[in-house]
Amino acid sequence: MNVEQLLFALFALLTCAGAISVVICQNVVRMAFSLIVCLASVSALFFLLSADFVGATQLMVYVGGTVVLLIFGVMLTSSSTLLQIRTSPAEGFLAAGIGVLFLAVFSFTAWSVDWDANSDRIARVTAVDVPPQGYNEASSGNTVRPLAMAFVGLRPDKGGNAAGYLLPFEIISVHLLVVLIGAAYLARTKRRVSADTQNK
Amino acid sequence: MDAVSLNYVLAIGAVLFVCGVICMTTKRNGIGILMGVELVLNGANLNFVAFSRYTSLGLDGQVVSLFVIVLAAAEAAVALAIALNFYNNHLTIDVDRGDELHG
């Protein structure tokens, strides 16, 4: 077992433990902390899969942005009595059983596919001359330049005629702008419903 | 030959997806449901990056995973605004209390 396998096993274990802990914990703040552990481990897995830019983006956007947003949501919406909203144990057992069944189905499906033969067939059909092991060797790891060229519509890594991503990039930029303006509009302060007019 | 097989990465993605789905279905806290959505999107992302690394998909998997990250950030912002509005109207974040349309 070399270093890469050891690191992969460690971060895989951390990822699964964080995800299961998010499901099991009833306290929202502990759930948020488990989510941070899980997402940071996923970004470490991205680095191990030689996707350095995606891993860095995962760290910045998820761990640095989305989880902080969620924690602010926890702080803005929880008073002391409402911090724990419990689910009943029967629902928990039912969900655990369904989850184990789901996991068995997915794992069986993934293990029963011959990915190498599949990859060869795709290469034969599309007739694109790409190396079978991704786009570069694991040691070089520099994906920022090819990713940036793919976003402006140039694909030197797949030959000149492959499709770029300029239009989806523009669409998602405008989408992000619209969504953030809409979120700021939705979340602005309004007159709050007073407690005595609450009918429950 | 690689140090880690593709199937192990797919198994981790499956664990993330299943945990996210269970989190979405069993949590009664609205913020907890959002965390479940984040877990599901991360499982999908892990699969995209794994296919980008191990198959002839090339760089496309990483591009799609970047799109998924941006969409997840946008979704979290809007859903959090909705959760704040829900809290302002109901004085709780328990999603079982949002039953005004119940017939």
Model confidence pLDDT, tens digit, residues B30-88? 889 999 999 999 999 999 999 888 887 778 889 999 999 999 999 999 999 988 888 88
Dihedral over alpha carbons A60, A64, A66, A68 (to 10 degrees):
-170
Q: Does domain A1-78 have CATH number 3.30.460.10?
A: no
- For residue A67, the distance in angstroms to the closest alpha carbon of chain B comes to 9
- Asked if the interface predicted TM-score (ipTM) of this complex is over 0.85, the answer is yes
Q: What is the mean pLDDT of residues B12-25?
A: 94
* pLDDT reported for residue B100: 82
- In B, which residues are within 8 Å of A186 by CB distance? 78, 81-82, 84-85
Distance CA B65, CA A146 (A): 15
Residue ranges covered by each domain of chain A: 1-78
CA atoms within 13 Å, Cβ hemisphere of B64:
17
pTM for the full predicted model: 0.86
Per-residue pLDDT 10s for chain A (200 aa) are 788 899 999 999 999 999 999 999 888 889 999 999 999 999 999 999 888 899 999 999 988 888 888 888 888 887 655 556 677 888 889 999 999 999 999 999 988 888 878 777 777 776 655 554 445 555 555 788 888 888 888 877 776 677 789 999 999 999 999 999 999 888 886 655 555 555 54
Phi, psi of A192 (to 5 degrees): -90, 145
Q: Which domains are present in chain B?
A: 6-97 (1.10.287.3510)
Do A77 and B85 touch, CB atoms closer than 8 A? no
Sequence-distant (6+) residues with CB within 8 A of B30 are A77, B83, B86, B93, B94, B95
Distance CA A20, CA A15 (A): 9
Phi, psi of A133 (to 5 degrees): -105, 65
From B28, B50, B87, residue closest to A77, measured CB to CB: B87
